[in-house]
Amino acid sequence: AQSVTQLDSQVPVFEEAPVELRCNYSSSVSVYLFWYVQYPNQGLQLLLKYLSGSTLVKGINGFEAEFNKSQTSFHLRKPSVHISDTAEYFCAVSDRDDYKLSFGAGTTVTVRA
């Protein structure tokens, strides 16, 4: 079984500043890793996913994440945020042989002008 910990529940950030959202996972097997974004009153949208290969993964809207196997982390970053990036962000993990996703508790990002 796997679990996901998102270390920050709320991240306030100023427009055009960088942001990093932290995610750590625990699993006894090899995993796939995902970041989803949920805008207010909407469903979850896939930002990016790590399957294998290069540890730096680029996603939509200028986001990227880095997989670190030794630290069991998959932190999400954006070098310069916009007001429209205000949303809740979820890290998720699945075992390579399973269909199910385990989600973190979410990190709320609030971008201020």
Residues found near another protein in the complex (CB under 8 A): 32, 34, 36, 42-46, 49, 51, 90, 94, 96, 98-101, 103-106
To 10 degrees, the CA torsion angle through 45, 49, 55, 2?
110
Cα Rg of the chain (Å, integer):
13
Least CB distance to another protein at residue 102 (A): 8
User: Rounded to whole angstroms, how far apart are CA atoms 13 and 24?
Assistant: 21
Beta bridge partners of 64: 58, 77
Least CB distance to another protein at residue 91 (A): 11
Least CB distance to another protein at residue 104 (A): 8
Beta bridge partners of 20: 77
**19 vs 47 by CB, closer to another protein:** 47
**7 vs 101 by CB, closer to another protein:** 101
Least CB distance to another protein at residue 59 (A): 13
**58 vs 79 by CB, closer to another protein:** 58
What's the one-letter identity of residue 48?
L
Q: Which of 67, 106, 75, 110 is nearest to 89 (CA)?
A: 106
